[in-house]
Chain A
Amino acid sequence: MRFTRHRRLVVPVVAAAALGLALTACTGDIANEDAADVDCAPYEQYGTFEGKKVSISGTILDLEADRLVESWKDFQTCTGIEITYQGSSEFEAQIAVLAEGGNAPDIGIVPQPGLLGRLADGGWLVPASQEVEANVDEFWSEDWKQYGTYDDTFYAAPLMASIKGYIWYSPSEFEEKGYEIPKTLDELNALSEKIAAEGDHKPWCVGFESGDATGWPGTDWIEDYMLRLHGADVYDQWVTHGIPFNDPKVAEAFDAAGEILKSDAMVNGGIGDVSTIVTEAFQTAGLPILDGQCSLHHQASFYETFWNPDGGDANTVASDGSVFAFLMPPANADDPLSVTGGGEFPVAFRDAEEVEAVRAYLSSDTWANNRVKLGGVISANKGLDPKNASSELLEQSIEILQDPETTFRFDGSDLMPGAVGADSFWKGMVAWTTGQSTADTLNTIESSWPAS
């Protein structure tokens, strides 16, 4: 009796273990790069740390994560630091828990200055070393340094960047139908109406769906309008709650965006009516442009990689390719060039020389060039050669970021407190596009702004 019972328990367990082992057998060890094959000259300044390990976590996943790991391969080989990277889509929600519980990785790649501030506020971050700060002073603008600073302490250098507010279009369609790239917001509206009037398809395709972050692409629209209609100063007041969220100026930005987003004549090309905005995934929302079902799509520079959903390079991103993008125009043609954008900040949770060596490398022009060469991303690092960018659009984006005349503002929702920027603003965009009035939406968001 006894024995049989044990045997019955053991069988499934052994079977499960055997299956695991069988699957393990399919995998092998990945050989390490031989140090002799690598030119270590650029890495000598960081020193050598035999047997030291640095763990990094972030939101970067999949192909982008592979490229990130690739970008520090030589650095690892030459300095002897072993870097492990772990990507997770839940990173933003969990990093504070991990930090508070004392189980944070050595470096966290934080995509929002707001989150950086919160982590710094909790006293969990290690201020940046002098090498990192020197790199930032040399390679980044004062604005960017500010985003990595909290309470006058400088915590982290920026890593990569993206420019929001691009409007994607099909160059061949524009040429064929004689459409001009708009120079002002009025011209943009005029163009939209013209396309709508010509009748075979709606001008815009929009998608806000992004799992539990549904609505964030909508916040980008509002931010672009805020910056262009009211200028950088009002924008700054808005994100710091200097003006309330239900200020008439914000309502103006919403209504301007609403002329497109809430009009069945304008959206949703190739997808449906206005109500489909909130159910269409942001990843696929622009694709109707390729089928001629839609002409304009508003999304950040990173959307470049989404044009070929199945991989490959059938759809080219170039001024003479399948798709290209122009920046959302200013309110008046002679306004200074203003763009919104995003970026990441590698913050340190452990005070150690090897951690700072990694951070110093990540803030250097060497890293920026190495990473950008691998394709798909840009950085605001001034030591970066735009020629290294993987496409015409990214090259142009790097030039915009490096241009001292550009007014750059960080994505507003990333700067706001989490209760707004990662919750009520997103939800507000969803409710607003599905019919809620501007006033109600703004009041709801304003009421969620934390008191302190």
Chain B
Amino acid sequence: MTTADLLGKLLQVVMGLAVLAAVVGLLIFFIDKAPKKGRDYWQLVGFLAPALIFLAIGLVYPAIRTSLLAFQTSGGEWTLDNFVWTFTQPTAIRTLINTVIWVLLVPTVSTAIGLAYAVFIDRSRGEKYYKVILFMPIAISFVGAGIIWRFVYEYRSGDREQIGLLNAIVTAFGGEPVQFMQTDPLNTFLLIIVMIWIQTGFAMVLLSAAIKGVPTEQIEAAQLDGTNGWQRFVNVTVPGIRGALVVVLTTISIATLKVFDIVRTMTAGNFNTSVIANEMYTQAFRASEVGRGSALALILFLLVLPIVVYNINVLRKQREIR
């Protein structure tokens, strides 16, 4: 890389930011100068349009295209074969069950641990450092995390020295080393631990911020009433952060449904550990069966619907209150 290259890159960043600032600045400037008549309309358009245009190009159009592809053969004829294949392949049911286990366990466990941790360290000495520790896994990429944990679960047969931490512990207590990644159904749970390890930091950071938003007056009042720590937590803190809890659970659920890197790097979906997102990636990219991949993507979409519906309800209630 030469100095010229570096300057070129800097120039690009500066230009990119300048364009962004100019567009947004002009937009808001003109919104406020919009004619009185229909100003509300123009203001709305000004605020929403940029994001909606991006979404339409980047996600809506592709989503429609994917939905259509799911009902087509590679030759472009209409068919239901892709769905038939999805549900008749021998591992289909297992993949579906695994996906459900993932989406049940990861959000709940990581939110629970993240919340507990956030409460425990709240206003403690060195809270900052405590936070960084749990935050660290997020800063490691999924693939990196998969490889770190493969290292933890590594197996060496009986007579050789274990280099995986878990098997070293097992053998230290006199047990036989275990082929963790091949032991069904334990392996799925071990993979889930990796995702929990990553997502807990996310939950902790958001919930910790939310806890600090709970008005101190309420906690004081509860203290005056003679409640203990647990009661204060359940009756004051949790209701105070309900909104944040829903957000965290939702976000993690969706991230969990989409994650495929962990399964791919650690077991490649073998030994009954596959999940839908992994199958989708494999079919669409490795096997070049775009139709099958699209069908799986649609199924994934259907799985998210309950989460979406739940959030709609929460949202409605919020709006009513206001």
Are any A and B Cβ atoms less than 8 Å apart in their complex?
yes
A binding-site residues for B, Cβ under 8 Å: 21, 24, 27, 29, 92-94, 96-97, 115, 118, 211-215, 268, 271-273, 275-276, 278-279, 417-420, 422-423, 426-427, 430-431, 434, 444, 447-448, 450-452
Is B145 an interface residue, CB under 8 A from the partner?
no
- The interface residues of chain B lying within 8 Å CB-to-CB of A275 are 179, 182
The smallest beta-carbon distance between B13 and chain A, in angstroms, is 9
- The interface residues of chain B lying within 8 Å CB-to-CB of A213 are 268
Q: How far is the CA of A24 from the CA of B6 in the complex (A)?
A: 9
Q: How far is the CA of A273 from the CA of B81 in the complex (A)?
A: 41
B265:A212 contact, CB within 8 angstroms: yes
B288:A278 contact, CB within 8 angstroms: no
Q: How far is the CA of A364 from the CA of B66 in the complex (A)?
A: 43
Is B124 an interface residue, CB under 8 A from the partner?
no
- The interface residues of chain A lying within 8 Å CB-to-CB of B90 are 444, 447
A273:B157 contact, CB within 8 angstroms: yes
Residue in B1, B181, B269 whose CB lies within 8 Å of A427: B269
The smallest beta-carbon distance between A37 and chain B, in angstroms, is 23
What are some 26 contacts across the A-B interface (CB < 8 A)?
A: A93-B285, A93-B286, A94-B285, A97-B285, A211-B268, A212-B264, A213-B268, A214-B270, A215-B268, A215-B270, A271-B157, A272-B157, A272-B158, A278-B270, A417-B288, A418-B287, A419-B289, A423-B282, A423-B283, A426-B268, A427-B268, A430-B270, A434-B271, A447-B89, A447-B90, A452-B73
A279:B287 contact, CB within 8 angstroms: no
B158:A423 contact, CB within 8 angstroms: no
A450:B74 contact, CB within 8 angstroms: yes
B283:A419 contact, CB within 8 angstroms: yes
Is B75 an interface residue, CB under 8 A from the partner?
yes
Nearest chain A residue, comparing its CB with the CB of B269: A427
Residue in A29, A212, A418, A430 whose CB lies within 8 Å of B288: A418
Is B2 an interface residue, CB under 8 A from the partner?
yes
The smallest beta-carbon distance between B71 and chain A, in angstroms, is 15
Nearest chain B residue, comparing its CB with the CB of A119: B288
Q: How far is the CA of A427 from the CA of B182 in the complex (A)?
A: 13
B286:A452 contact, CB within 8 angstroms: no
- State which size class the interface on B falls in: 20 to 34
- The interface residues of chain B lying within 8 Å CB-to-CB of A444 are 89-90
Within 8 A of A (CB), among B1-16: 1-2, 6
Name B's interface SS.
loop
A279:B265 contact, CB within 8 angstroms: no
Name A's interface SS.
helix
Within 8 A of A (CB), among B130-159: 155-158
Q: How far is the CA of A424 from the CA of B155 in the complex (A)?
A: 25
The smallest beta-carbon distance between A283 and chain B, in angstroms, is 14
- The interface residues of chain A lying within 8 Å CB-to-CB of B1 are 24, 27, 29
The smallest beta-carbon distance between B82 and chain A, in angstroms, is 10
- The interface residues of chain A lying within 8 Å CB-to-CB of B289 are 418-419, 450
Q: How far is the CA of A417 from the CA of B75 in the complex (A)?
A: 15
Within 8 A of A (CB), among B272-295: 282-283, 285-289, 292
Nearest chain A residue, comparing its CB with the CB of B184: A434
- The interface residues of chain B lying within 8 Å CB-to-CB of A272 are 156-158
Q: How far is the CA of A288 from the CA of B138 in the complex (A)?
A: 38
Contact with A along B81-104 (1 / 0, CB 8 A): 100000011100000000000000
Q: How far is the CA of A96 from the CA of B74 in the complex (A)?
A: 14
Q: How far is the CA of A279 from the CA of B82 in the complex (A)?
A: 32
A118:B89 contact, CB within 8 angstroms: no
B269:A278 contact, CB within 8 angstroms: no
- The interface residues of chain A lying within 8 Å CB-to-CB of B75 are 452
Q: How far is the CA of A91 from the CA of B4 in the complex (A)?
A: 30
A215-B270, A434-B182, A447-B90 given; name 5 further pairs at CB < 8 Å.
Answer: A279-B179, A417-B287, A423-B283, A427-B270, A430-B271
Residue from A118, A423, A430, A434 whose CB has the most chain B CB atoms within 10 Å: A423
- The interface residues of chain A lying within 8 Å CB-to-CB of B282 are 212, 423
Q: How far is the CA of A452 from the CA of B287 in the complex (A)?
A: 14
The smallest beta-carbon distance between A153 and chain B, in angstroms, is 19
Q: How far is the CA of A450 from the CA of B291 in the complex (A)?
A: 11
Nearest chain B residue, comparing its CB with the CB of A424: B287
B286:A431 contact, CB within 8 angstroms: no
Q: How far is the CA of A375 from the CA of B57 in the complex (A)?
A: 48
- The interface residues of chain B lying within 8 Å CB-to-CB of A94 are 285
Known contacts A27-B1, A211-B268, A213-B268; is-contact A276 B285 (Cβ 8 Å) = no
Q: How far is the CA of A427 from the CA of B278 in the complex (A)?
A: 13
A422:B81 contact, CB within 8 angstroms: no
Nearest chain A residue, comparing its CB with the CB of B265: A211
Q: How far is the CA of A422 from the CA of B269 in the complex (A)?
A: 13
- The interface residues of chain B lying within 8 Å CB-to-CB of A434 are 182, 271
The smallest beta-carbon distance between B94 and chain A, in angstroms, is 12
- The interface residues of chain A lying within 8 Å CB-to-CB of B156 are 272
Q: How far is the CA of A181 from the CA of B179 in the complex (A)?
A: 35
- The interface residues of chain A lying within 8 Å CB-to-CB of B283 are 419, 423
The smallest beta-carbon distance between B255 and chain A, in angstroms, is 20
Q: How far is the CA of A76 from the CA of B63 in the complex (A)?
A: 44
B182:A279 contact, CB within 8 angstroms: yes
A452:B288 contact, CB within 8 angstroms: no
A276:B157 contact, CB within 8 angstroms: yes
B73:A419 contact, CB within 8 angstroms: no
Contact with A along B40-51 (1 / 0, CB 8 A): 000000000000
The smallest beta-carbon distance between A261 and chain B, in angstroms, is 16
Known contacts A214-B270, A447-B90, A451-B81; is-contact A29 B2 (Cβ 8 Å) = yes
Nearest chain A residue, comparing its CB with the CB of B6: A24
The smallest beta-carbon distance between A22 and chain B, in angstroms, is 12
